[in-house]
Amino acid sequence: MDSLLKLDNCTIRFGGLTAVASLSMEVRKRELVGLIGPNGAGKTTVFNMVTGVYRPTEGDVLLAGERLNGLKPYAITGKGIARTFQNIRLFNSLTVFDNVRAAFNLHLKHGPRHALLRGKAFLKEESDIESRTIELLKIFNLDRLSESMCKSLPYGDQRRLEIVRALATQPKLLLLDEPAAGMTPTEKSNLMRLIEFVQETFDISVLLVEHDMRVVMGICKRIYVLDHGVRIAEGAPGEIRRHPKVIEAYLGEEPGEGVRGEK
Amino acid sequence: MSRGPLSLIVALFVCLAVSLFGENFIASNFAYYYDILITIGINVILATSLNLVNGYTGQFSLGHAGFMAIGAYASGSWSNNIDPIIFGYLGGSTSPLATNVCLFVSVLFAGVLAAIAGFAVGVPSLRLKGDYLAIVTLGFGEIIRVAILNTDFLGASRGLSVVGSYTNLFWTYGSVVLCIYVVLSLVHSTYGRGFLTVRDDEVAAEAMGINTTKYKVSAFVVGSFFAGIAGALYAHFKAFITPEGFNFFRSVDVVVIVILGGMGSTVGVTVAAVLLTILPEALRALAHTQFVPPAYQGLLENRLILYSLLLIILMLTRPQGLFGDRFASKRRFIRSRGD
Amino acid sequence: MDRLLEALQQLINGVSLGSIYALIALGYTMVYGVLRFINFAHGDIYMLGAYSGYLLAPLFARFFKFGQFDTFTPENTLFILSGAGLIMILSMAICAVIGVLVERIAYRPLRDRPRLNVLITAIGVSLFLQNMTQYRLGADPKAFPQLIPIQVVEGLGTMTVLTSQLAIIIATIILLIMLRLIVMKTKIGLAMRALSLNPTACSIMGVNNDVVISFTFALGSALAAAAGILVSMDSPSINPLMGNLPGIKAFVAAVLGGIGNIPGAALGGLIIGILETLVIAIGFPQWRDGIAFAVLIVILLFKPTGILGRIEREKV
């Protein structure tokens, strides 16, 4: 399998604090990879580094061999990485429909000039985007809510809407930051099926940061474990479960979020 | 031709017709109301253009008067120097053709110069957010004013007399129509949803591949362009301008209109511009009737007391303004195609 | 030697101007510290301080013989200073009350609304205070009563330092020391510092945040009022719009020093005052109002945290 995302000895320091220490990892094409670790292990920092919110102090972030260091977040999204946020960040004054539509901006052929002139090509593209937005919303069963304000959606729907919005940028790699947070067990099971479905249907790679072991162990083929910014293990779910360093890192964590994921 | 541009052209023709057939009648019989009418037009341009920046894009600027000043002085000084040359070719200063051409050229020049200034100010300052951006734009507005105050060929503190008051209903309301059209058709497109995402959440917008800096600067440049046009129309309306006419309080006037109308609602802001232009005049008229004791006349005549109370009360009770802001974003573009 | 004296002279002019900015800047920075917003109306509290003095002085004029002394003498010095001091303390008290009321009426109901709403309200409050003053007392400049005799301080050779300048500098030093004591040595000062670090934790620990915020407004407003009185002693013409420019310059000073940082605000005020004096001294007096904005723009573009400020990162 070909490599898609590659982190090569990446380090991030904030002042004296090393949040991520010479981390190397890889996500291959069409792969569903998990990134786990106790609180404060640096998982979200890795996301922020990959998406350009932070710049790695040392090391390289590569997407299909191309260096991403120093690119602005929007440019990195343009290269094919989309993400969701740990604390949902939807566009609160927009409808569900417009939240997704706005994300089509990236591959837009028209610009301000066409918006002013409203020519045939412009109107054609707008109606294309409209039908593709509706199509996407339908897949996720959100089309009936397309005219609601996203603020008024239930929590689980907001999380799913964030995924839809990310998919609208047509990514090669989707980064999900704790998508199961705050969900009920049923919602979590649905989410797991949804993530697998998205990965297959859109034929993309997924990197999943998640606290809930049941979710990660259940769907990821390969898992990286971070602790204090250092990679302490890598392997299939079965290996990770038995890995002594992982067990050590998680000792003292709440039982509900234990390594075995037994609830 | 699609409905959008078509309605623009129709609206422009209406302005032209009103101007051709009604202008002289209104101006000579109702001079006071004619002045108010032109002032309303100028305020609508200022407010709807600032609304693109403060409302739709969420970048709170307090420096709109600065760009208006640039437009006013650019067009005034251009007209003083270039108009005589144009008159030479087009049949002298009494020919309607010549005066209209002169006005068009100087207004365009003013808009372009203000847009360039908007770009120069916007690129560095739009990296800042919220309160800081407000203060820095206020600072730039004041620097522009201080600079004019110290520039001799612009009349410095003495003010600048502008050749000919050519501003008429057609050019004023033509600009109003154009400004509203530009703002609405920009915002009501997939491209234009970008402005709103910048307002809602910059981090998320960037993560969706939206170049937030570009959007902010674009909004600022378009806003400044129309502020410049409003300034030019104002200069050719009053025929005399001073730096004090473009101080911080002028910016506040426009901000009050935008807030009252509802940030991000072009309809609301337009209505508010009309209301707030008429209101001080109405209150002034009321102050001199027998119903108002002399002691309270000053209170009614001071529009800033009214504006200040309006701002405070609005923020306490209805921060989304008269028309709220969902008005703009809830509409699907199926309908917006036509506007 | 002459050059040196000239420089020293400008420095003293700069420090006395900067002291005023520093006193106002402290109010901005303290309020920003506890509420994270720019109190746009703060410059107008400074104006109201001057007007309070203007209205209060006639009440005490007979007793303290305001305007009747031409010079300081060893016998009358204490008497004059206690008269001026009383006016200043009363004005500070009045403005402290106004500051607390403004916060209570206009800002507190908006505490969990977007910061922009509070900024807009603050602009409204500022316009209201200015225009109400204008409406009640007239737009024309008023002559501020002479609280202390203004004369050249003797024994400084060719330098001309006025007693009013000296009063500004000394009063500022005293006020800064008192502020330092309040913030560092009292319980409420500790609560202020705690609140600026983490409001939620602060209220969980049993601090009444509302009281602390009111106290902060009172403190900041009192300092601004003191600045208003001091400035009016030096240049005794006051008008309802006098707070605008010094207000904005003091805000620049607060940002320059690192907003939220108390010593930073004092330092920033001094720097702005000295820079402004310098611009006048080198022959560009008409640009004196531009320099503060230029400094602000440069600071925000290159070091938005100011000289002594700390970094606040947006959490993603």
Interface of A with C in 35-64 (CB under 8 A): 44, 48, 53
Write out chain B residues lying below 8 Å of A104, CB-based.
190
**C311 pLDDT band (50/70/90 cuts)?**
low
| Nearest-CA distance B254 → chain A (Å) | 23
Q: Residue B129 pLDDT more than 90?
A: no
Q: Which residues contact B170 (CB under 8 A, 6 or more apart)?
A: B15, B16, B18, B19, B20, B23
Out of A98, A110, A119, name the one closest to residue B191 (CB): A110
Q: Residue A263 pLDDT more than 80?
A: no
Average of per-residue pLDDT values in chain A: 90
Q: What confidence score (pLDDT) does residue C313 get?
A: 58
Residues in chain C: 316
Backbone Cα Rg of chain C: 20
Closest CA to C39 of C208, C262, C280, C260: C260
Q: Distance from CA of residue C228 to its chain's centroid?
A: 7
A17-28 sheet: strands from edge to edge: A17-28, A3-14, A58-63, A66-67
Share of chain B above pLDDT 70, in %: 95
A222-227 sheet: strands from edge to edge: A81-83, A173-177, A205-209, A32-36, A222-227, A230-235
Q: Residue C147 pLDDT more than 70?
A: yes
Q: Which of A5-14, C57-66, C291-300 has the lowest mean pLDDT?
A: C291-300
Q: Which residues contact C117 (CB under 8 A, 6 or more apart)?
A: B315, B319, C110
Q: What confidence score (pLDDT) does residue A234 get?
A: 94
Q: What confidence score (pLDDT) does residue A252 get?
A: 55
| Nearest-CA distance A102 → chain B (Å) | 5
8 Å CB contact of C124 and B124: no
Q: Residue C84 pLDDT more than 70?
A: yes
Q: What confidence score (pLDDT) does residue C178 get?
A: 96
**C247 pLDDT band (50/70/90 cuts)?**
very high
C150, with CB counted inside 10 A (0-12, 13-18, 19+), is: middle
Q: How many Å apart are CA A178 and CA A187, to the nearest integer?
A: 13
Chain A's closest residue to B181, CA to CA, is: A116
Backbone angles phi, psi at A235, to 5 degrees: 160, -175
**Is A247 in contact with A223 (CB distance < 8 Å)?**
no
- Overall average pLDDT of the B256-264 stretch: 91
- Overall average pLDDT of the B237-262 stretch: 93
Q: What confidence score (pLDDT) does residue C259 get?
A: 86
User: pTM of the prediction?
Assistant: 0.89
Q: What confidence score (pLDDT) does residue A258 get?
A: 46
Q: Residue A262 pLDDT more than 50?
A: no
Q: What confidence score (pLDDT) does residue B128 get?
A: 84
| Nearest-CA distance C289 → chain B (Å) | 8
Share of chain B above pLDDT 90, in %: 63
Of the CA atoms within 13 Å of residue B302, those in its CB half-sphere come to 21
Q: What confidence score (pLDDT) does residue A233 get?
A: 92
Identity of the residue numbered A177: D
More confident site: B97 or B67: B67
Interface of C with A in 297-316 (CB under 8 A): 316
Closest CA to B171 of B111, B85, B219, B221: B111
Q: What confidence score (pLDDT) does residue C112 get?
A: 83
Q: What confidence score (pLDDT) does residue B325 get?
A: 53
| Nearest-CA distance C114 → chain A (Å) | 13
Q: How many Å apart are CA B282 and CA B291, to the nearest integer?
A: 14
- Overall average pLDDT of the B225-237 stretch: 97
Q: Are strands B240-241 and C142-143 parallel, antiparallel or unpaired?
A: unpaired
Q: What confidence score (pLDDT) does residue B1 get?
A: 57
- Overall average pLDDT of the C27-49 stretch: 93
8 Å CB contact of B326 and A149: yes
CB pairs < 8 Å spanning A and C: 4
Chain B's closest residue to A106, CA to CA, is: B209
Q: What confidence score (pLDDT) does residue C314 get?
A: 60
Structure tokens at C251: 């805000």
CB pairs < 8 Å spanning B and C: 108
Q: Residue B329 pLDDT more than 50?
A: no
8 Å CB contact of A120 and B204: no
* Helix B31-50, helix B169-187: angle, nearest 10: 20
DSSP H stretches of helix in chain C: 2-35, 42-64, 77-102, 115-137, 163-185, 187-197, 199-204, 209-234, 244-257, 262-281, 288-302
More confident site: C138 or C95: C95
